[in-house]
Amino acid sequence: MGRLTIKDVARAAGVHPATASRALNPLLPGRISAGTTERVARAAAELGYVADPVGRSLRTQRSGTVGVLVPDLLNPFYPPVLRGVQEVLRGHGFEALIASTDNDPGRAGALLDVFRGRRCEGYVIASASRRDDAVGRLIAEGVPVVLVNRLTEAAAPSVTSDDARGIGQAVRHLAELGHTRIGHLAGPSGISVTRAREAAWRAGLRAAGLTPERSWVVRAGQYTASAGERACGTLLDRGEVTAILAGNDMIAVGCYAAFAARGLSCPEDVSLVGINNMPLAEWLRPSLTTVAIDQEELGARAARLLLARLADPAARVGDVALPTELVVRRSTGPVRP
């Protein structure tokens, strides 16, 4: 059929292509008469013209594309985040290129190179370790970057969850159930949320009049179920705690397996709290009490921050911390007498 170009629209409206272009991009300088604008718009609509993004990109040096990097697409936490990002971006004419580092920090560089080759105008990065070379370089170059749930040493706006609040609620909830020895399965070190969550756990215990013991913390090497199962096993075998705050829901998923392997039942023998409220959390047996984060909103806010920086690269856009809220389900119960 031969694709429509702006020349076709211009011809149909009886104007020059440049005029047609201006008429269709109202924000540009050099205003166009109402009549012309009208005629061009009608012609475009009738013909079903949509501007070729490639031609436009070449001229404007923009791609209408944003790179999104997540650490693990298989972790149910991220799909809702992606949905939020895409929804907002699409509403503003941007499309997201998505990649997962699969929990391998080394892959970030290569993936970012692919994105840069495609002229992504900005990046939403949910995979940055606290010290990440590839991401740091990006930020240093002044490319618009928004971090999700991660902080780096480099300065880039970020959207995080205010874990402290929800974790405080979680610990209080456990304390009110009579638990005095509440363990924590921390995520991998080198990630900012890991530290924040551990700190919040510590603070929560203190606020409840309890003293966090070093032996109540075990570090899971990754935010995965299998790492969680191992770490939980280690913690259980020390035989000290009656309740566990997992570093996230995937780690909590691993805990269920560790419980079962030791013949412990939840919540009768051990109480368990996760973090994230991932899509399947309510479907686990027992359903998981967890610190809920609005994942879609997390992504949506990140996208909006990025759009603000895209519109004005000099804009100082601040960080956002979304509130978290404890969702009590069936994995927590009174301490055993």
The footprint of a second copy (CB under 8 A) covers: 50, 52-55, 57-58, 63-64, 73-74, 76, 79-80, 82-83, 86, 90, 95-100, 102, 113-114, 117-119, 225, 253-254, 256-257, 260, 279-280, 283-285
Tell me if 92 contacts DNA by CB under 7 A.
no
**Binding at 15: pick from a second copy, DNA, none (beta carbon under 5-8 Å per type):** DNA
Is residue 21 a contact residue for DNA (CB under 7 A)? yes
Q: Are strands 325-327 and 289-292 parallel, antiparallel or unpaired?
A: antiparallel
Whole-Å CA distances, 305 to 62, 86, 136, 319: 18, 13, 18, 9
Q: Looking at beta carbons only, is 58 or 199 nearer to a second copy?
A: 58
- Among residues 26 and 91, whose Cβ is nearest to DNA? 26
When asked if residue 189 is in the footprint of DNA (CB under 7 A), the reply is no
Nearer to a second copy, 86 or 129 (CB): 86
Nearer to a second copy, 49 or 216 (CB): 49
**Least distance (Å) from DNA to the CB of residue 41?**
12
Q: Does 58 bind DNA (CB under 7 A)?
A: yes
CA distance 36 to 19: 9
Which one of residues 26, 42, 45, 52 is an interface residue with DNA (CB under 7 A)?
52
Q: Which does 155 bind (CB under 5 to 8 A by kind): DNA, a second copy, none?
A: none
CA distance 149 to 18: 44
In angstroms, give the least distance from the CB of 172 to a second copy.
Answer: 27
For residue 140 the two structure tokens come to 């240093």
Q: For the CB of residue 109, give the shortest distance to DNA in the complex, in Å.
A: 21
Query: Least distance from C-beta 18 to DNA, angstroms?
Result: 3
SS3 188: coil
Give the rounded distance of the alpha carbon of 27 from its chain centre: 32
CA distance 76 to 249: 9
Choosing among a second copy, DNA, none, which partner's interface includes residue 283 (Cβ < 5 to 8 Å by kind)? a second copy
What's 24's DSSP letter?
H
What character string, x for contact with DNA (CB under 7 A) and - otherwise, covers 61-80?
A: x-------------------
Rg (CA), the chain: 25
Which of 26, 42, 55, 328: binder of DNA (CB under 7 A)? 55
Half-sphere exposure of 158 (CA within 13 A, CB side): 22
Residue with tokens 């740091």: 136
Rounded Cα distance, 160 and 208, in Å: 25
Q: Cis check for the bond before 286: say yes or no (omega within 30 of 0).
A: yes
**Residue 86: which of DNA, a second copy, none does it interact with, CB under 5 to 8 A by kind?**
a second copy
Q: Which neighbouring-strand residues pair with 183?
A: 244
Burial code of 225-248, b = ≥16 C-beta within 10 A, e = fewer? bebbbbbbbebbeeeebbbbbbbb
Binding of DNA at residue 11 (CB under 7 A)?
A: no
Residue 252 contact partner, candidates DNA, a second copy, none, CB within 5 to 8 A by sort of partner: none
Measured CA angle at 127 (ends 122, 128), to 5 deg: 85
The Cα–Cα gap between 103 and 75 comes to 10
Residues that bind DNA (CB under 7 A): 3, 5-7, 15-19, 21-22, 24-25, 28, 30-33, 35-37, 51-52, 54-56, 58-61
